Structure 1
């Protein structure tokens, strides 16, 4: 696929989770039966869906978010933050008698994180509402999903996107089993090493293994991306495949939400009509930028930030 010429970028609809992150700094994550002291606690907007929406909006995407929050202070905070970032939140439903989703994120001295998610209102999203929203989307738009929501929602959204001619981008995180006919529509399916390993039922523990895994997964999906953290990402589609090496960050501060930064940037670039290789390159740059800053949404780049570090230039 080549970049759109003389056309505006396609809109991006992100369907997924919105959480409040409770971030704690620890020397190391606790082992079973162990208690550790945290160096601090910070509350911030998160959730894989909201994260990806914000990451895409910061890079100039026309982004709408579809999800649910509770009728509480946390939900009100999430809605304020989405609107402040330029994300259309008209299709975020406020659910009474439900708590807003939350995540407890422990970040160790190396910047690596361990996360526990309590879905809360995120699981109140219904198939009927999601199908209605996706049917309103433009045929060339992108529908972006993750797996912190009920798997039935993913199935409905992907199938409906396929019916109207929209492009379904699925970040299968955390990993859940989905029917093969749902995966077949994904363009791309985005997974990390552990999620790819679960799909393939074989270890994906090196760049070479990821390349071979991407080739195998490509037979079941329209295109695939396997992210490899500090090693970058590999991709495969109908035109071939390749590897994008990640630049070395000056310092790894916090890896929380870096994968979501990748997906948001990837979606923006695809919405402009870029080839998958180009979109993956921008995604790797966005993910690398994110790990040099604390938190999830607070760490995401603006377009000028990525241009400054040599990433592909975003079109208007």
Structure 2
């Protein structure tokens, strides 16, 4: 069982010709809503790719919570979220015609998840965490997981404003970051030097995602490079979460790191061809079909 503990937000999305500069107003034709939040996104990606998945988060007692719970259920995810006396989290996403986006998040109920309000680790082999919950809560969940022999996967996003605590990184088995997050963690430098520096902080495996350039990992003494799949980009929202969810599902199923990364890269590429975060995430059937079309059986 893969457990994802993290945020759940309702996304408010508008498309524009270009991302606004500071002080600029850009008009778009309309807005749509869709279920989101990094935690819920990663749970949906994992569930849709065919892996047993449980989600633990916090939602408000309001109409915004219903579509989030329904998306989890429809994706085969066991929803164990709490209902708290606070608004459901919301994310305001502006997507340019290029597919790039900017996002502002109102945390709402997510901010009320405390270390004392912890998830059920029964039958869990892997825990996925991100940084949209309070940092003390993320630390506590990672510590509890490691004490139970659970493999901890940390997606260190959004990029923290302050250095991550040493005791958090010491409890992480697999760290997933993008280029900016990696530089924020260990400083600028040559990529392999950065990856080894991040590995020295505690995680045995460190993966950096590079957008259209694919991803690179170090695991022990091993180095793995995986190319991205060429697609026509429609919307990059949720691509990173798709990668993390499918990656961890693969690891939980006993796949090698390289194989799990290849499937995750393909899933993330497919997600970029459709609008939204959770609505864009591929199913296991879609992944298998895309791999077959690419001439590989994986």
Question: Gaps (5+ residues) in structure 1?
Answer: 1-10, 204-208
1:86, distance to aligned residue in structure 2 (A): 1.3
Matched residues in 1 for 2:116 and 2:281: separation?
A: 32
**Which of 185, 196, 207 pairs up with 1:199?**
185
**Which of 53, 56, 64 pairs up with 2:54?**
64
> Does residue 1:101 correspond to 2:85, yes or no?
no
1:64, distance to aligned residue in structure 2 (A): 0.6
Residues 213-247 of structure 1 deviation map (CA, whole Å, 9 limit, x = unaligned): 21221222211100001111000111411211111
Indicate conservation of the 8 Å contact 2:100/2:235, yes or no.
yes
- Which runs of structure 2 are paired with 1:199-238 in the superposition (5 Å)? 199-202=185-188, 209-220=190-201, 221-238=203-220
Matched residues in 1 for 2:191 and 2:74: separation?
A: 38
- Which runs of structure 2 are paired with 1:9-28 in the superposition (5 Å)? 11-28=1-18
Superposed CA RMSD = 1.5
Equivalent residue number for residue 230 of structure 2: 248
Equivalent residue number for residue 8 of structure 1: none
> Does residue 1:274 correspond to 2:264, yes or no?
no
Given the two structures, how large is their TM-score scaled by the length of structure 2?
A: 0.94
Residues 95-146 of structure 1 deviation map (CA, whole Å, 9 limit, x = unaligned): 12x110000000001011100011000011121221x523x344xx100011
Number of matched residues?
292
Matched residues in 1 for 2:271 and 2:265: separation?
A: 10
Given the two structures, how large is their TM-score scaled by the length of structure 1?
A: 0.89
1:78, distance to aligned residue in structure 2 (A): 1.1
1:313, distance to aligned residue in structure 2 (A): 5.6
Equivalent residue number for residue 166 of structure 2: 180
Equivalent residue number for residue 5 of structure 1: none
Q: Compared with structure 1, are the counterparts of its residues 179 and 115 closer, same or farther at alpha carbon in structure 2 (3 Å cutoff)? A: same
Indicate conservation of the 8 Å contact 1:259/1:287, yes or no.
yes
Matched residues in 2 for 1:122 and 1:211: separation?
A: 35
Matched residues in 1 for 2:269 and 2:195: separation?
A: 21
Equivalent residue number for residue 292 of structure 1: 273
Equivalent residue number for residue 30 of structure 1: 20
- Which runs of structure 2 are paired with 1:59-98 in the superposition (5 Å)? 59-89=49-79, 91-96=80-85, 98=86
**The 10-residue stretch of structure 1 (278-287 or 141-150) with the greater mean CA deviation from structure 2:** 278-287
Q: Compared with structure 1, are the counterparts of its residues 94 and 84 closer, same or farther at alpha carbon in structure 2 (3 Å cutoff)? A: same
Equivalent residue number for residue 3 of structure 1: none
Equivalent residue number for residue 246 of structure 2: 265
